[in-house]
Structure 1
Amino acid sequence: MSTENQCVIIHDATLRDGQHAVRHQLGTEEVRLYAEAADRAGIPVVEVGHGNGLGASSLQIGRSRLDDDAMLTTVREALTGTRLGVFMAPGWGTGTDIRKAVDLGADVVRVAAHCTESSVTERHLGLVRELGVEAQAVLLMSHMSDAGRLAEECTRAVSFGAQAVGIMDSAGHYLPADVRERIGAITAAVDVPVIFHGHNNLSLAVANSLAAIDAGATILDACARGFGAGAGNTQLEVLAAILDRQGLRTGIDLRALLQAADLAQEHLMPGPPLIDSVSVMSGLAGVFSGFKLPVLSAAAAAGVDPMDVFAELGRRQVVAGQEDLIADVIQALKEAS
């Protein structure tokens, strides 16, 4: 397809999805430093929060170092031209969390649902529209559904008020052909911008993002240095450089973005994400990337092979929020050995 004059909106999830990689422990100074750098680079949207979104800080999936109010206030104060985004999944977050986030300056609110359950977004998308900020809807673990069903779910979300819709490759499971098929079906079904969010378990996050653009997506998610759950997300500065080379307009200052990525590596993360053997197994098994650290910790304590744990979690088709099943799987593996 021709890319002449095509505009792509980059949605930077470094300060939200990146939290998974550090057990949601980013502090005020780290959050502020990166937000300021992202703003200088002209990134359109910076998303901030607990890795699982508004209201998700909990014993089950991890307490965040900063609460939602502190994170949002810090980032809002750091942004001058960049919009502030938040992510919310019903069941973790509530309408009250959305109202508070908007009061604190959120410009874009994403409401997320499992790939076959867009119906749970209706009330929250309606609330976001009532509050006068941009409402988006994303489908999680989207590899667990086919293109036709994803298009139906996105169409339903649009009817609820979503002004952009899309899919997350939460497990890093897709191949580029999978992305083209699904994004193509969604863009054919809706008349709002389409979103793609990739993970890098099979080293395909950038390639899959480019495939999404080819199929009609105009909003891409990415993180500095790929900072994110498991093997990480689409690497922001690499994606932006490729889009620039292709002649696609992002409005981002690439030199300033590279500086922001350097800052992120120095201040936000112990090291860039690594595609290790466990990450590959997670991607192949179709298990949410955020399971990596909990699985490694629990498997080591129990003396079982984390590869076996991921294989069984994939067989059971677990989703984010079912981290308690890790212990059940480990116990079953020990009893079977």
Structure 2
Amino acid sequence: MTKRPVKIIDTTLRDGSHAIHYQYSVEDVKNICKGLEESGVYAAEVGHGAGIGGSTLQYGLAKEADRDILTAAASCLKNTKLAVLLVPGLGTMDDLKAAYECGVRLVRVAVHCTELDVGMQHIKLGKELGMEVAAFFMMSHMISAEELAEQFKIAESYGVDFIYMADSSGAMVPEEITKRVKLLKEAVNVPIGVHCHNNLGLAVGNSLAAYESGADFVDTTLQGLGAGSGNTPTEATVAAFNKMQVETGCDLFKLMEAGEKYVRPLVQHSLEVTNESIILGYTGIYSSFYLPTIKTAKKFNVNPIDVLVELGKRKVVGGQEDMILDVAYELSKRKDV
């Protein structure tokens, strides 16, 4: 029996940038894109970790401008689609038009799991430009499977080509992934994808569970580069799909070569599952809080785990990174009493 194929969207050059403080050079982008093109991934997502327009003081300034890295990426991609992430409120309509001019042909409009309405105009513009458009629901663990299914139905009504469930905190386990993907597949008629993080060490397992439950797309990064303990590693995921006799269109050995040659030298912190990353997944905190929390906790001489536990209690989401400072300061004052 022939198994249905799965499409790989590699986000090394977007979500992976969180782990290197958004310091990709144009040369890095070209090298990695060449490797992804030769490896046969469906799409390469490129840009700041917070998406196009995300290079700000709050989120972190990128080394290169969006236009420069997107133009560089486009020059190296022929069969692999050039993709961007757009977070409404950071990325603008003008940013999306500029990205299209640079050669971007796939946009994923990323919203908090209950706030799709803020991305409606961006989805509409992407379709008008003739782009492939996806709705991308961040922090999906924060609402029930049934509530998420309702959001998926709304996204489908907006005319998107496919829809993503993002486990932005690496908080889900395979059983939950399976339940959600099956329900979401029943709710909509468009393809769906999953974006997993490895904070509990479950990224590959969750991605495979998603595929077996009906997912059509899987996000990965070379070497697992990403926030927290990283993303689903492209190489291991493709190897696992190969063993399952699931077609990805990818050359495993070229992926391994690209990751080892162009990504491994850029890694600035261990991507192993640490106590801090486990707390990210356990309490459901956005993965990009990982490095800023460790840095701030050190500054205030407090335990980063205590900071993360408190942030989890406050149910922080992406964009509330300023609360790391507040919590660390409060904990330091308690120590002084």
User: Does TM-score exceed 0.5, indicating one fold?
Assistant: yes
Sequence identity of aligned pairs in percent? 40
Distance of aligned partners of 1:271 and 1:321 in 2 relative to their CA distance in 1, 3 Å threshold: closer
Aligned equivalents of 2:84, 2:46: Cα separation in 1? 6
Q: 1:67 aligns with which of 50, 54, 65?
A: 65
What do residues 138-189 of structure 1 show as CA deviations (whole Å, max 9, x unaligned)? 1001110110011111111111121100211101111001111111111110
The residue type equivalent to 1:316 in the other structure is R
Q: 1:29 aligns with which of 27, 47, 50?
A: 27
Aligned equivalents of 2:189, 2:59: Cα separation in 1? 36
1:330 alignment counterpart: 328
Q: 1:316 aligns with which of 310, 314, 317?
A: 314
1:47 alignment counterpart: 45
2:115 alignment counterpart: 117
CA RMSD of the aligned region, Å? 1.2
1:15 alignment counterpart: 13
1:99 alignment counterpart: 97
Aligned equivalents of 2:277, 2:3: Cα separation in 1? 37
Distance of aligned partners of 1:34 and 1:271 in 2 relative to their CA distance in 1, 3 Å threshold: farther
Q: 1:244 aligns with which of 242, 245, 260?
A: 242
Residues 200 and 231 in structure 1, CA contact (< 8 A), matched pair in contact too: yes
Distance of aligned partners of 1:291 and 1:157 in 2 relative to their CA distance in 1, 3 Å threshold: same
> Any unmatched runs of 5+ in structure 1?
none
2:283 alignment counterpart: 285
Residues 241 and 254 in structure 1, CA contact (< 8 A), matched pair in contact too: yes
Aligned equivalents of 1:114, 1:315: Cα separation in 2? 18
Q: CA deviation at 1:327?
A: 1.1
Q: CA deviation at 1:214?
A: 1.3
Aligned equivalents of 2:263, 2:161: Cα separation in 1? 33
Give secondary structure in 1 for the equivalent of 2:111: strand
Aligned equivalents of 1:177, 1:88: Cα separation in 2? 30
Q: How does 1:249-260 map to 2 (within 5 A)?
A: 249-260=247-258
The residue type equivalent to 2:97 in the other structure is R
The residue type equivalent to 2:67 in the other structure is D
1:141 alignment counterpart: 139
Q: CA deviation at 1:28?
A: 1.2
Q: 1:268 aligns with which of 266, 269, 277?
A: 266
Aligned equivalents of 1:8, 1:149: Cα separation in 2? 26
The residue type equivalent to 2:71 in the other structure is T
Residues 20 and 228 in structure 1, CA contact (< 8 A), matched pair in contact too: yes
Aligned equivalents of 2:222, 2:213: Cα separation in 1? 24
What do residues 254-277 of structure 1 show as CA deviations (whole Å, max 9, x unaligned)? 221121121233443236612111
2:87 alignment counterpart: 89
Aligned equivalents of 2:31, 2:262: Cα separation in 1? 9
Residues 225 and 272 in structure 1, CA contact (< 8 A), matched pair in contact too: no
Residues 118 and 154 in structure 1, CA contact (< 8 A), matched pair in contact too: no
Give secondary structure in 1 for the equivalent of 2:54: coil
Q: 2:226 aligns with which of 225, 228, 251?
A: 228
Q: How does 1:196-215 map to 2 (within 5 A)?
A: 196-215=194-213
Which TM-score applies when normalising by structure 1? Answer: 0.97
Residues 225 and 264 in structure 1, CA contact (< 8 A), matched pair in contact too: no
What do residues 105-142 of structure 1 show as CA deviations (whole Å, max 9, x unaligned)? 11110001001111112111011000001000110011
Distance of aligned partners of 1:328 and 1:69 in 2 relative to their CA distance in 1, 3 Å threshold: same
Give secondary structure in 2 for the equivalent of 1:15: coil
Provide the aligned length of Structure 1 versus Structure 2. 335
Distance of aligned partners of 1:335 and 1:219 in 2 relative to their CA distance in 1, 3 Å threshold: same
What do residues 74-114 of structure 1 show as CA deviations (whole Å, max 9, x unaligned)? 10001121110000110111111111101111111000100
The residue type equivalent to 2:273 in the other structure is I
Q: CA deviation at 1:210?
A: 0.7
Q: CA deviation at 1:71?
A: 1.0
Which TM-score applies when normalising by structure 2? Answer: 0.97
Aligned equivalents of 2:63, 2:152: Cα separation in 1? 34
Aligned equivalents of 1:125, 1:329: Cα separation in 2? 36
The residue type equivalent to 2:215 in the other structure is A
Give secondary structure in 2 for the equivalent of 1:209: helix
Q: 2:188 aligns with which of 187, 190, 201?
A: 190
Residues 35 and 75 in structure 1, CA contact (< 8 A), matched pair in contact too: yes
Aligned equivalents of 2:195, 2:139: Cα separation in 1? 11
Residues 121 and 157 in structure 1, CA contact (< 8 A), matched pair in contact too: no
Residues 19 and 269 in structure 2, CA contact (< 8 A), matched pair in contact too: no
The residue type equivalent to 1:175 in the other structure is V
Aligned equivalents of 2:310, 2:270: Cα separation in 1? 28
1:168 alignment counterpart: 166
Residues 223 and 264 in structure 2, CA contact (< 8 A), matched pair in contact too: no
The residue type equivalent to 2:77 in the other structure is L
